[in-house]
Structures are given as structure tokens and as C-alpha cells.
Structure 1
């Protein structure tokens, strides 16, 4: 299976995060190494608009056959459009038709080759339209509220107060793994009735978006 690592250069939450050094190694290197440790990944393509990220990616073993155009690297660009551009561009350059692929975001340094392989096995076994990695939510989702600019609280869900033990477990997508059939992305969706969740632990699910996230990842690595 072909893997795509999407890594644009214009991060606002933590500038330069994709190549920021985490325990002496660029953040993106952890994802490249995880993909290279997978027995199912046949090619690893880095999709970026940034020449510096491209150079680091190549150094660690990713392919960068082209740079992503600027309109697909803005804050308003949709991720699925960047994925479709990448596989369509490969077809244009090589004549290779890609009908399914895995996306590995570079902000998940604790996702390893085993996670990738298990999710691909699920995708193949279930003949899924998509497999997306999830993590169990610690608190019941019904506890969540809206809070307006004045600090006033309003309900999202019903007001019945129940014990935590009475609530059904909920899960959130952790951003580490997305496996898609191209056909569902062409319909503008990630989920269908044939989508499955690959559940990961909280530590494996850490997604770096802010400096605080990065510092927490540094702390965890120091304890491993």
C-alpha cells in the first residue's frame, strides 16, 4: 500500500513543528521510520509545499516527487483535496492508478509500525471503505457544554445527570492513521457505513499541534 505523509510548511499553532527536533530527531522522522517498519507499505510519499521539509523527508527516506501547490497548503485548503491531488499527480507522472492508500500525519510520533500494520490488516479483512484511528475519550461526551464569550453555559445534550459508569464509551479520531478508498474521497467524505475504527492507546494517540503538546511528547520520550 502507498502511504502519504501530508506536511505543509505554514503551521500556525507551532511554527516549523514538522521538522522541529524531538529528542534530537525531526518530528517528521518518527512517522517516516514507522512507515518504513511496516510490512505493508510499498512506497512512502511526502506531500509538502515546503522545500526544507522536503529535504528533511528525503534525508530520512521519503519520496518527494513534486511539491504541493500553494493553494493546497493554505489554512483553508481541505486535506482530502491534497490527498486526491497527490494520487492524481502520481498517475499523471507515472501512469500508476492508486485506488486505496494510507495517510500518516507527521504529528503523531508515538504511532509505530505495528499500528500501521494492524490497521491495514483491518482494512483488508473488513474490505472497508476507510479505517480511521481512534482513542477512547476519558470523560462522557454528555458532560460537554457550549460556553459563550460571556462565560455563560448552554447545553449540547440533554440535561439528565447520570453516573460515569452508566454512559456508553465514546471515542475520538486521533489523527494518526487514515486509510481510504479513493472513491469515497471523491464523494467528499471520510466515513461511510463501511468505515471501521482502529483504536489506539492514549499515549500512542498524542497529536502535536501546540508547544504544550510538544513538551509533553518530550517528557514521555525521556521516560521511555
Structure 2
């Protein structure tokens, strides 16, 4: 069985109510639910939430929300590993079937679409991967980044050997949080994900927008409203 898990906690300190905040005329979480459904990959699409309001919206858009998270998984200290492990354990008891593949799809990536999900799963199959994780190219060279001294000093901020033209630097990639495909063995072991057998799926910067603060939301709204 292939299942998608969309983790969506009700509390958000930096952007309150973001998971159901209207984006392009529909709740933020709806973009991820619809992409998962349209991909035609999953036997079940679940939303894991502690919010009845998020649960109701998620059901309206076609996801399954069989329960609200227990209290111990509802705080900002609860990890994705905890949430995924809890849902898989419930599923295998409830359905008497073992999960083969799990996708974790964050609702804060509204520009990740069905095609991205399909392509990431194709990497999983072609590579016979244990896991596939989406990444994008780092927006600015990491060689131009460093910590500042306590007094704001930039002494030693950049080493002379790192002062190359941007076009001469090799690309560096970062996690974008949009897609995680996992084999069953990684349930309760997400800390071991970045190891042999895990491969990347590269996405563009626009598709990699991850909504955390209001500026992210406005940027996603711009692209959804104006297209390319």
C-alpha cells in the first residue's frame, strides 16, 4: 500500500492559521491534497492534524482524516518522525495491511504539483531507492555566507580563496521540504534518511516556495495569480 501523509498542525506562531489561509481562492492545504489526488499514486491520502477546522477543510477536498492527533503530538515539540510513525502504526492495525511506500507532503509547498510527485516517485522506482527527497539549488552561493562576530564584525567573513565569480561556483542544493518518498523501513527512523540508498529529486526555485512567513505567502500568491 502506498500512502501520503500531509502533516498539518493547527498552531502557527509566525503565520497564524496558515494551513487553511486562502491562497488563490482555496485553503493552502487544498493545493497539496489536490496534487496528491491528481498524481494517482496513492492508495490513501491522510491529513494528520490536531485541528478540527483543518480536518473539516481537508475532508472537503478529498483527504482522509480518521482522527485528531493525540495531545502528545499536538505541540510544536512533536517531530515529523513522531507524527508519521503514529499514523503508520494506526493504519497497519486498522487496515490489517502493511505500508510499502510513504510520501510526506508538507502543506506549505503549494506550488509542488502532481507532476512533481509523479517524477519523484519515478526516481524512486528507477533508482530502486530506499527514499527520495526533493531539493532545489541554493538561491545564493554558500561561500558568501558566514556568522557575524558579536559586535557585527566581518573580520574573516569570507576567505580570499572563496572569492570567485558566481558563475564559476559549483551549484549547491538545499532541502525544499516539498516531497519525501520513503520505503517502510524508514518509519520511526527519519533521522537515518540521508544515507546510502536515498536519492534527490531536483525542483525549480518557484516550485520550491515553502510558506513559513507572510512574505512567503505573498510570493506564492503572486505566482499562482500571475503564472510564469
Tell me the TM-score range normalised by the shorter chain.
Answer: over 0.9
**Cα separation, partners in 2 of 1:148 and 1:98, compared to 1, 3 Å:** farther
**Cα separation, partners in 2 of 1:190 and 1:13, compared to 1, 3 Å:** farther
1:131 maps to what in 2? 132
1:205 maps to what in 2? 208
Deviates more, 1:68-77 or 1:116-125: 68-77
1:216 maps to what in 2? 219
Residues 145, 154 of structure 1: 8 Å contact kept? no
For normalisation by structure 2, the TM-score amounts to 0.92
How many Å apart are 1:124 and its aligned residue?
Answer: 1.4
1:190 maps to what in 2? 193
Distance 2:174 2:221 in 1: 23
Distance 2:84 2:158 in 1: 34
How many Å apart are 1:216 and its aligned residue?
Answer: 1.2
Residues 29, 57 of structure 1: 8 Å contact kept? yes
Distance 2:192 2:6 in 1: 19
Instruction: Say which of 163, 166, 171 aligns to 1:164.
Output: 166
For normalisation by structure 1, the TM-score amounts to 0.93
Distance 1:90 1:156 in 2: 50
2:53 maps to what in 1? 52
Query: What value does the CA root-mean-square deviation take over the aligned residues?
Result: 1.7
Residues 84, 188 of structure 2: 8 Å contact kept? no
Structure 2 unmatched runs, 5+? none
How many Å apart are 1:159 and its aligned residue?
Answer: 4.7
Residue correspondences, number: 224
Distance 1:134 1:149 in 2: 32
Distance 2:148 2:159 in 1: 16
**Cα separation, partners in 2 of 1:195 and 1:155, compared to 1, 3 Å:** farther
Equivalent residue of 1:14, what SS? coil
**Cα separation, partners in 2 of 1:63 and 1:13, compared to 1, 3 Å:** same
1:68-87 matches, within 5 Å, as 68-87=69-88
Residues 147, 157 of structure 2: 8 Å contact kept? yes
